[in-house]
Structure 1
Amino acid sequence: MKFNLTGFRFFNSIYWLALSLWLGALVMVALTAAVIFPTMRDLDVTIPEFAEAGYTGDHWRIAAGHVMEILFLVLDFTQLICMTVALLVTALQFTVLGVSLRRFTHVTRIFAILIASGCVCWHVFMLSPQMNRDLRAYWEAARAGDFAAADVHQQAFESAHPTASRLLGSTAVLVAVVIITSAAGVVPLKPASEMEDDPGHSGTATAKKGSGIQEPELLRKLGV
């Protein structure tokens, strides 16, 4: 298979962009939640339509929840897009672009990205829909003055919240692992003769004896 340097650089850029956006979205939503909920609590906000219905629960939770519902929806779409792009480019790396599976780092990042994708699918397609239904039912019942029903739906939502938090946290850790292992081991296959003819790679890689596979200088020094 002839090595396509231009294709590798192009798809590798997309790969890094997807991973960066994926992890960045997870971190930013977590930080936003950590700011919004305490801020709303300290402000002790009151929502007129709920107050008129006689709801005596925490209005600040409802106010913060309305903001976070939108952010989590954006996060779900962002995760699905970034996950799909990262999976497709990973497949291209090992089938078309000439990246070898001989490194432990490659195997690690493949498992990490697959598990992270599983976490995303579980959260987006199984957990989030029911949580959103419970959350909206809680708001509607509280707004209508049906406080018993509001409590039931609120408890149902809160019982699923720890699982959702663990899933998002696990996904963030796994994506970070993918980024770290990718930085250590995303290496294309390329004959030594082509490496010598490519001035853009002069002094940055050498070939393994008898294999024709390039070896990044950093990895050679680290012995990875």
Structure 2
Amino acid sequence: MRWTLLAVCLCLVLAGCSGGSPATQTTSTTEAPTQTPTATPTPTPTPTPTPTATTTAAPTTDAPTQTPTATTTQPTPTSTTAAPTTTAAPEDVYVGLEEYGEVTVDGTDLRVRVDAYQLRDEIPTEDGSLAAPEGEQWVVVEFTAVSNPGDSIRLGYSQWQMHALGSQSPRPDDEAMRNAAWSDILGEDEVLPPNTQESYRIVFAAEYTADMEFVMESYGTQEHATIHFETE
């Protein structure tokens, strides 16, 4: 369009300059080809990429694996302890006066004999004499103990007992045993060496003296058969 307007204006100018010329020259005007304006391409906007949301997977926490609890069946314990063997107590030994009763004391043989006994109202002491308790008498027993070769044997007056009519079974009287003036009185704890013979005395206080029996039991932790010395 611009080029067309320029061409018309040019023709008008040229016609005025020739004013009254008899012959009108026709000027051949070669029109320049109309250039079709090239449209400036509108830049296509580059699409802004939409950020892709990155989904961070939450860490999966594995449930703890439960370790199965082993159920242990406890075996019923079988008792391997042998039942204690019950050793039968040795049978009692019965002898008369002036007879030996023989027993074994922890492997060592022991012989005991009641030689005699006396009934007394008083016994001698260092300060004079000791009277028997009212209604009772002193029973003084003399005995002999003989040990064979082996181990020493312990003796004490508490291992002796007296049986008589009635319910009484007295032990040697403590006061009499401590105060009697006899040198061969049996003490509370004495040792009889092996292969030895000794004579002793013990003193009972008794109300009844008929059908008496003197009994020698085990002493302390030693074990042996009980010896019964019968007077009838």
TM-score exceeds 0.5: no
Higher relative contact order by CA 8 Å / sep ≥ 6: 1 or 2?
A: 1
TM-score when normalising by structure 1: 0.17
**Quick check: which one's strand share is greater?**
2
**Quick check: which one's helix share is greater?**
1
TM-score when normalising by structure 2: 0.17
